[in-house]
Amino acid sequence: MSDLSKIPIHTEKHAPEEARTNPLAGVFDELVRFAQSRSMYMLHYCTGCGAIELPPAMTSRFDMERLGIQPMVTPRQADILLVTGYVSVKTLKRIILTYEQMPSPKYVIGICSCTVNGGMYWQSYATAKKLSEYLPVDLYIAGCMPRPEAVIEGMRALMANIQSGETEPWKDYYQRYDYYLGNQQHLFGDNWQTPTDVIGQAQHYGLAGPETEGEHTRILQQYQQPLVAHKLRLK
Amino acid sequence: MSLLDALLLTALGTLIATLATVRTRWVGYVASLGLGLQLLVLFLLAPLGYGAPAVTSGLAWDLFGQPLVLRYDAMSWYFALITLGAGLVSSVYATGAWSDHYRAAGRSPGWLQFALALNVFTMLLLLASGDFLSLFIAWELVSWASFLLMALAAGPALKWSLRYITYATAGAMSMLAALGIVFHLTGSLNYADFMAAVDQWSVGLITLLTVLFGAGFAVKMGILPFHLWQAGAYAETPGPGMAFLGAISSRMGLYGMMLVWVQLIGLIRLIEVHIPLTFLSLRDVLMWIAAFTIILPTYTALKQNDARRLLAWHGIGQGGYMLMGILSASALGSAGGILHIFNYATNQAVLLLAVFAVVYRTGTADLNKLGGLFTRMPLTFVAMLVGIIGLAGIPPMNGFVSKWMVYRSLLSEGMPLLFVASVIGTLGTILSVYKLIHNTFLGQLRLEHEPVQEAPWSMVIPMMVLALIIFLTGFMPGIVLDWVAAVQAAVGLPVLPHTLGGVADAHGGLDMIMLVLVLFAGFGVSALLFYATGRSEPVHQLDNYAGGHFLSADVRYHYSDHFYAGLMHRIGHWYRGSFLWFESVVASLASFLAQWSATFYRLMQPALPMLAMAVIVLWMVS
Amino acid sequence: MEIGKRIADIILMPIVAFVIGLFMVLMLRKIAAKLQRRVGPPFFQPLIDIIKFYSKTTQVSHGLLHDIGIIMAVGGYLAAESLLPVPGMDGLSDKGGIITLTYFLMIPSLGLALGVGQCANPNGSIGISRALTAMLAYDIPFVIVIFGVAWHYGTTDLSEMISLQQAQGWGAFEMPLLALAGLFALQGMMGKQPFEIYVAPAEIATGPMVEMGGKYMGGLFVMQCFQLYTAGVLYTTLFLGGGTHWLDFLIKIFAVVAIPMMIAFTFPRYRTEDMLRLMWKWPVLAGLLGIAFVMY
Amino acid sequence: MNLIALVVALPLLGAFLLPVGARSVGWVGRLLGPALLLLTSLVVIVLWRDSGGVPSHIELGGFQPPLGITFYLDQLALVFALATSLLALLLWPHAAWRDARVAALMLLMVSAASGMALSGDLFNLYVFYELVSVASFGLVAAPKTGAALAATLRYVIISGMGTVMALTGIALIYTQTGTLNLAHLTLLSATTLDNTLGLTAFVLILLGIGVKAELFPVNIWVPEVYATASQRVSALLAGLISKLAIIVIIRLLVLLFPQPEALTLLLVIGALGVLLGELAAWHAKDFERMLAFSSIGQLGLVLMAFSIPGQAGLFAGLAVAMHHLIVKPALFVLAERWSGGFAGLAGAGWKSPWAAGLFILFALSLIGVPPLPGFWAKLMTLLGLLGQDNWIYWTGAGIILLATVFEANYLFRFGLGLFKAGSESRSAKVPVHDAGSLGPSLILGAVLLIATVMITPVGNWLAGVADQLADRELYVTTVLGAGRELP
Amino acid sequence: MTERELDTHLVTILRELESLEYRQTSPRRVRIDVTREALPGLLELLKGRASYVHLSAISCVDWIEDNEFELVYHLWSYESNHLVSAHTRIPRETARYISVYDLYKPAAFFERDIFEMFGVYFEGSPHMEKFILTEWDGPPPMRKDFDAEAYVQETFNWQSYHPDWLKELEEEGGGVAIRPEEVRR
């Protein structure tokens, strides 16, 4: 294992995107992608030990605001979900709920090696080993707590990705929802459900692909009738 | 047989017809039809609202040498219009679905309609009073009629209506004393002699008369020292009855004040009367009472947990505005005060009807047991929204115009502390009305309120009509300002030059038409900006951020109890209920005297009176 | 012409307001950064943020009233801008004076309150109840200031006030105490650090903005620009002689807005009751004294 | 003309024949009383129609006026004579149907009462007053319960002392003037009775007769007696007899003692009566005591009304007195079924709506709510009181106003209690009114409503009566014939 | 109170309990082995008479060979700054023991922890339910007979990066981090 460069990095390719639903994006796609890349709001949700590296990245020495990145409190306002440190099974439930509450386009960065392959907790019965089984992960920043420079490097890589716009893993969650749901049910049991109606959202925004519905979603439907918003009714 | 007689006779006819059909099912339709007819006759009297001379009634008769004259002038026409409007709306609201609900609850809607018709008739009579005697007679009839309306819903209403009638009788007695003094001074009870003789009277006498008459009217109006009965008594009145009472019944007190203080005694005299040891004149004292009447009830309303109580307390608060406006004696201020009577009547009526629509569907008016009804009762929500915008006095609605006038006049008259006091009142109103609409319509919809439906059409239509009136008179206040100008002329106040849009004034006028148009233009542009950028998807109320917690329908996470906790930390200890304490002191004194006099009769030995008599005789002989 | 000019004003003024507002937000974040010895955001960051929010694919709404709330919030400010006279454009300022403007500024907060209420989130409701309490707190000194100023100039029409100040010198010199009270009120109206308990991120997850994502949050950012702009321009109109020509007008409003921003990022956040105590003690005292001087 | 003597004689005769007749023929004992009353009321009506409003007088036994017994028949006297017989007929006690002795006492009281109304001689008045007292002792003690006997004992003691004082007063007058005929006395009063001695005599008579008129110092017996006696008897006592006593006092006041001090004395006593009466009524715990105290208050008000100098005072006093004459008996009749504490009566209004409606009508009239006659009476009183420039009169008016507030409170506390929807209100034991028990109240209620509708004619008629009462020369000329100038 | 007097003081107190093994393991630490039934008595004695008021922890040791669990109660006295650890053995199959919650309130948390991790049920302890491992429905994980690595291999297919050099290591029985010779048979 003397030469690290020889180890190939696993990347996955996804289907080309379909028609956009947002007329504004159609008009000046380039500007929109630039804006999305230049203004990323980081969700202020510290899942594990790696989060201690974020404050130095935000404050005066490294100052993420230069890149247009601000910490935001609620998932509704955030774009990036930083999953830092080991992901215990209990925390994974909250991460999935928060991820589904974030408006897309949304990006997940797995900081620390525990999200990559379980890290030093690889033997533990209580931690989820590979984050990308449960959530589409854009980017991993390895290191058992990477230094702020590494975090910012990761952010710049993500900004480049967004700017180029060829990979958009957040669509993968809608298009292959059944696969992700299967893994989640495998871990949390069959009655696992979140209040967000992901399938409804997929159909509403035209992001549903062939693999969105599957046998796992059928299991989900057994336990949960979809939470449809209260309709305004006069009668 | 002048038009005024026609009006009074139709009112009497409605009363009798309602009484005849009180047991049947269509008593509501009879009452509403009658009230509609009265409104038509009132429209025939419409020239009064535009400066025509007063109309006197044919059936005058004199009793024991005192002539009783009935006449309508612009002021009475204005008040009659609001009374009949409120009466018609409440009676239409009370027919149809609401009456079946009320009958199912074991009470008779027939008597409610009769009480409403009786109230309207007695109020029209009061407005027609041409001299002090007919004023007092009609005043007693009005207070007893509203007593009947309050006591209809047995149970807690009995306690509150008894308290009301004790206050009302005390007020009436102070008026009777004033009547006696006037009779003693002028030898007759008609207005002309009073106005002629008022010049020679001493300052002390004018203050005495103002206080005595004022006390009687203040009880009905709920001005500060006498306001304790109003919130509870109004809250216990059944549905539309409360809407009627809240909208117009307490304004009869204001009619009296305008009649006696402004028309007969004249505000100039009130200004000349200086209170010794202070630099205040009598008018300033009254304005400060009005100012405190604005603040204290509004901040009591803030703490109420029952929607009806909250709105009843606001009734008292807004009364302070009207009094403040009228007492400012400037053209702008008095026009603001008089306009506020109309505006507030519509706001209070629509809010109360909305609250009772919610009670009709959910069975409770307790703000801590409601929530999230917007998706289930949208039209009632629209009515309440228009009502609270009007009540808070925010631009597109009519409440803003009258409050703007009052502020503008306070500002140009140079009364800083009163200006600040009334603004504190407005802010308190905004806070408490938001609590009302938030706890009822916004937030989490409870499980048991899922199947709730919109209120039936017989209740929604009156609300929508009122909401439309509120918006129209807000958009074009000129309509009502014509009537207000006529009232000012009739009462002897300086008349306000006005345009259809509002007040044209070199140093900062108001043109509602342009402002509302700009406002809606702004809304249009932002709506365009909003709907042009991507489609949004409505989500269920459980799909909410709660710090990673999984929300579930059975857990109540709706924030409604102790709504303004921060504010209450600061001003919570200022609520000491000093008026309640004062009232209990008076009550305990009276019961002590009563106890003593009762024992006087039981224990007294026969010998003592004989001894007393002997002493008197000896004293006589010596 | 007069109608045409007026319509042109009504269209132009909000746009001008938005642009200046953007730069004010940039200045705000730059001052914050410089105070914390940071580099601070790039030049067009506020605009980029807004574009990003509006360009979101999935927009989470909690129903019709949530949308109407945001529309009212932004629309209210669009209308309020036309009441604020700017060099060369008077808009509707003669139709409604300063009292009308104060009430027009309440429409956006009411709209926001309704929208947040519909989101059925306890954080939002607590935030709104604190925001209304904050409004109660800073409105009293603000109203005292309005009374003093309106009594001093004898009018409530803002454009007339500007012309008077051109003639007899700035308001700040004639009414120093009122200017001081005005600063306190300005600090409250900005909704920034010392008095932003209703947006406390850690405690109630940014209060009213808890459920606002995508174009909803974008709308609130636009509203924030208008809020800063209105506060700045109003203060300059009342005390610093308002705008006669653009250059000194811009310098004045940016200077006026800079002061509360400086204070904002050096002070921790006040609790609601302490904010009430602070706002009702010193500014009210200064304001009343100012009125006493002005009137007698 | 001298048929009028029958009005007094017939019931007297009946009173003595009744026990004999009852023993021999059963139905005679029961029907004789009402028949006689019907007869006397017919006589009075016939006489009233003939007299046509002009006062006349008759001498019994042919003696010239200053000596013999004279009856003076002016409008006032006739009205009260008629009222006596009609009310007695209306309120004929239930006991009287069974027990001959009670019927005899009733007839005795009626004859004495009408005698008091008619007689023009001072001593004659005293005799009739004595007869009425004795008859009322018997009637009050009729229920024979312990409480009734105790109350009657106190009543007898106080009446006894009262009559003693009245007698000394009359004796004083006799020593001063040497005559007992009212007309003759009016002639002499200007010279002899216009000093403190005269006033003392007036005070003595006032307090003596005041016992029956429930005046302040001497009305201690009222609550106990009315609470324990049968409701119809107390109705008669409170409604009728007390008014007659006041009429006697007023006649003396007008004819013999026109001094202002007498009027102020009346005012003070009346005011104290009103204040204490209403306060005690507010404190009362059961229905009869409340009515008793309320009648004390009302009679105090009557007295204050009469204390207004001049014709206005007499008119106001008469108005209040007549109004009380109608309302109080009706309320006492209601008390027949609704006796006892308030708790027991919760919800009684739902069970007997007609009775509750009547109670509210009478309560409104007592308080003085406009269309009802009670209001006009109280208005006239207040305007009269406030018309004087004397601070005492103004305080009197103030006391009346204050008392009205208490009155409104306690009357409607009871009234609303009738409609309390408590659970026990539905229970069987709540008393129910049927048509029989409501008869007299309904009639009196009807009279009240008629008076409300025809308020102006009634008002003018009362003004006429008041003028006649105030006119001293008319009294003297009719009794002593023309030619005797009045000093 | 020096160690000397302390030692004698403890000995005199503990004489009342029979079958007690007392050993001074270090200057400030004493180890007491006591039978299952006597332990609550010992704790009461130490708390009452010897000012050991602080129960800092209860730890559990899984002697799978002797088929027993060993419970160690760590007691600390602020007055004499001295630590006593009381050891006792309970059978592994039944895995039930009496709670000392009535003596030391913190015991509730320690006992719940041991209940979750080792499956030892303490009668009388207030919260005998899952608190940390709410998501875990397998056997008590800290027991020696539970092989975490095997569970991980079976539930998480986390090693999608599976080059050939890794496959050889696994054939010889090693994992990524353990050399073949160290693998337990």
Q: What band does A7 get if pLDDT is binned at 50, 70 and 90?
A: low
Query: Pick the residue with more confidence: A206 or B387?
Result: B387
Q: What tokens appear for D475 in the block?
A: 């009294």
**Interface contact B169-D408, CB threshold 8 A:** yes
C95: containing domain: 2-295
Whether B430 has its CB under 8 Å from any CB of chain C: the answer is yes
β E121-123/E96-98 pair status: parallel
Partners of B61 on chain D (C-beta within 8 Å) are 456
Model confidence at B390: pLDDT above 90: yes
The CATH architecture annotation of domain E3-132 reads 2-Layer Sandwich (3.30)
Q: Is the pLDDT of residue E177 over 70?
A: no
> Which among A25, A63, A74 is the nearest to C206, CB-wise?
A74
What confidence category does residue A107 fall into, taking pLDDT thresholds of 50, 70 and 90? very high
What is the 8-class DSSP label of residue B51?
T
Report how far residue A87's alpha carbon sits from residue A124's, in angstroms, rounded to the nearest whole number.
Answer: 11
For residue A101, which residues of chain B lie inside 8 Å, CB to CB?
543, 545
Per CATH, the number for A25-166 is: 3.40.50.12280
The string of DSSP letters for D92-160 reads --HHHHH-HHHHHHHHHHHHHHHHHHHB-BHHHHHHHHHHHHHHHHHHHTTT--HHHHHHHHHHHHHHH
Distance from CA of A123 to the nearest CA of C (A): 35
Strands A80-84 and A107-111: parallel
Does C296 touch chain A if contact means CB atoms closer than 8 Å? no
- The stretch B578-590 carries a mean pLDDT of 91
CA-based nearest residue in chain E for residue A124: E148
pLDDT digits (tens, 9 = 90+) for B215-263: 999 999 989 888 899 989 999 988 899 999 988 988 999 999 999 998 8
The ipTM estimated for the assembled molecules is: 0.86
Question: Is some CB atom of chain A closer than 8 A to the CB atom of E64?
Answer: no
Q: Length of chain B in residues, anyone?
A: 622
Tens digit of pLDDT for each residue in D168-191?
Answer: 888 888 888 888 888 888 887 777
Q: What is the DSSP string of D308-370?
A: SSHHHHHHHHHHHHHHHHHHHHHHHHHHTTS-SBTGGGTTHHHH-HHHHHHHHHHHHHHHT-T
The pLDDT of residue A11 is above 70:
no
pLDDT value for C73: 93
The C-alpha angle C22, C24, C25, rounded to 5 degrees, equals 65
Helices B97-104 & B331-362 angle (0-180, nearest 10)? 60
Question: Helices B97-104 and B74-94, interaxial angle, to 10°?
Answer: 60
How many A-C residue pairs are in contact by the CB < 8 A criterion?
Answer: 99
As a whole-number percent, the residues of chain D with pLDDT over 90 amount to 19
Interval A13-31: pLDDT, tens? 443 444 455 655 556 788 8
**How large is the average pLDDT for residues B476-496?**
90
Which residues are CB-contacts of C11 (< 8 A; sequence separation ≥ 6)? none
Structurally, chain C folds into a number of domains equal to 1
Q: Over the range D184-205, which residues count as b (16 or more CB within 10 Å of their CB) and which as e?
A: bbbbbbeebbeeebbbbbbbbb
* Confidence category of residue E13, pLDDT binned at 50, 70, 90: confident
Q: Please name every residue paired with A110 in a beta bridge, in sequence order, or none if there are none.
A: A83, A140
Mutate to test the interface with D, among B23, B63, B64 (most CBs of D within 10 A): B64
- What's the mean pLDDT when you consider all of chain B? 89
Q: Which residue of B has its CA nearest to A92?
A: B548
Q: Write out pLDDT tens, residues D31-50.
A: 878 888 888 888 888 888 88
> With contacts defined as CB-CB under 8 Å, which chain C residues touch A60?
36-38
The answer to whether E160 and A130 are in contact (CB under 8 A) is yes
Cβ-contact C191, C199 below 8 angstroms: yes
**Which residue on chain B is closest to C126 by alpha carbon?**
B559
Which of E141, E158, E160 has its CB closest to that of A118? E158
Percentage with pLDDT > 70 across chain D:
94
Lowest mean pLDDT among A128-132, A221-225, B492-496, D305-309: A221-225
**What's the confidence (pLDDT) of residue B277?**
83
Which residue from B445, B540, B550 is facing A228, i.e. has the nearest CB?
B540
Give the mean model confidence (pLDDT) for residues B489-517.
86
**Distance to chain B for D222, nearest Cα, Å:** 9
- Please tell me the predicted confidence (pLDDT) of residue B188: 84
- Model pLDDT, residue D423: 53
DSSP collapsed to 3 states, C257-284: HHHHHHHHCCCCCCCHHHHHHHHHHHHH
Separation in Å, CA A16 to CA A109, B308, B348, B353: 22, 60, 60, 57
Q: What does the pLDDT read at residue A24?
A: 57
| pLDDT confidence bin for B586, thresholds 50/70/90 | very high
Closest residue in C to B522 (Cα) is: C75
Cβ–Cβ of C114/B564 closer than 8 Å?
no
pLDDT of D66 reads 66
pLDDT of residue A15: 38
Q: Does D197 touch chain B (CB under 8 A)?
A: yes
Determine the residue among E131, E132, E133, E135 to mutate to test chain A binding: the one whose Cβ has the most chain A Cβ atoms within 10 Å.
E135
Tell me if B420 and C144 make a contact (CB, 8 A cut-off): yes
Nearest CA in chain A to C64: A232
User: Quick one: pLDDT at residue A13?
Assistant: 43
At A1 the pLDDT is 41
E and B touch with 3+ CB pairs <8 Å, answer no
Does B378 lie at the interface with A, CB-CB under 8 angstroms? Answer: yes
Q: Tokens for A15?
A: 């289907």
Question: By the 8 A CB rule, do B390 and B427 touch?
Answer: no
Query: Each residue of C91-128: pLDDT tens digit?
Result: 788 888 899 999 999 999 999 999 999 998 999 999 99
Who among B154, B184, B612 is closest to D217 (CB)? B612
pLDDT at D107 over 50: yes
Residues 457-516 of B with CB under 8 A from C: 506-511, 514-515
Q: E58: distance to nearest CA of chain A, Å?
A: 23
Binary contact (C209, A77; C-beta < 8 A): yes
Scan residues 75-114 of A and list those with Cβ closer than 8 Å to E.
89-90, 93
Residue A208: is its pLDDT beyond 80? yes
The answer to whether residue D422 scores a pLDDT higher than 60 is no
| Number of neighbours of residue A142 by Cβ within 10 angstroms | 15
Q: What is the mean pLDDT of residues B21-30?
A: 88
Sorted by sequence, the CB contacts under 8 Å of residue C219 that are 6+ apart come out as B526, B529, B530, C70, C71, C73, C74, C212
Taking residues C50-55, what's their average pLDDT? 91
pLDDT tens, residue by residue, B246-258: 889 889 999 999 9
At C70, the amino acid letter reads I
Interchain proximity A65–C40, CB inside 8 Å: yes
User: Across the interface, which of A90, A117, A125 has its CB nearest the CB of E158?
Assistant: A117
B602 to D223: CB separation less than 8 angstroms, yes or no: yes
Among the partner-chain residues A101, A196, A229, the one whose CB lies closest to the CB of B538 is A229
Of residues C171 and B585, more confidently modeled: B585
- pLDDT for the residue E185: 56
User: Which residues on chain C are in Cβ contact (under 8 Å) with B438?
Assistant: 113, 117, 125, 128
- C205 interfacial to chain B (CB closer than 8 Å): yes
Nearest to C55 among A25, A44, A102 (CB): A25
State mean pLDDT over A36-58.
88
Interface of A to C at Cβ within 8 Å reads: 20-22, 24-25, 31-32, 34-36, 38-39, 44, 59-60, 63, 65-66, 68, 72-74, 76-77, 79, 101-105, 201, 205, 207, 229-230, 232
Domain residue extents for chain E: 3-132, 147-185
Site from C45, C57, C121, C209 to mutate, A interface, most A CB atoms within 10 angstroms:
C57
**What confidence category does residue E97 fall into, taking pLDDT thresholds of 50, 70 and 90?**
very high
In whole numbers, what is the pLDDT of chain E averaged over residues? 84
Nearest Cβ partner of A90 from E134, E155, E156?
Answer: E134
Question: What pairs with residue E121 in β-bridges?
Answer: E96
Distance from CA of E142 to the nearest CA of A (A): 10
* Nearest CA distance, A102 vs chain C (angstrom): 8
Check if A186 contacts E (Cβ < 8 Å): yes
Within 8 A by CB and 6+ apart from B378, the residues are A232, A234, B454
Site from A61, A63, A65, A163 to mutate, C interface, most C CB atoms within 10 angstroms: A65
| Selected residues 219-238 of chain D with any CB under 8 Å from a CB in chain B | 219-223
B376 to chain A, any CB pair closer than 8 A? The answer is yes
First CA to last CA distance, chain B: 68
Looking at the complex, does the CB of residue E139 fall below 8 Å from at least one CB of chain A? no
Helix-helix angle D75-90:D242-255, to 10 degrees: 170
The verdict on A205 touching B (C-beta cutoff 8 Å) is yes
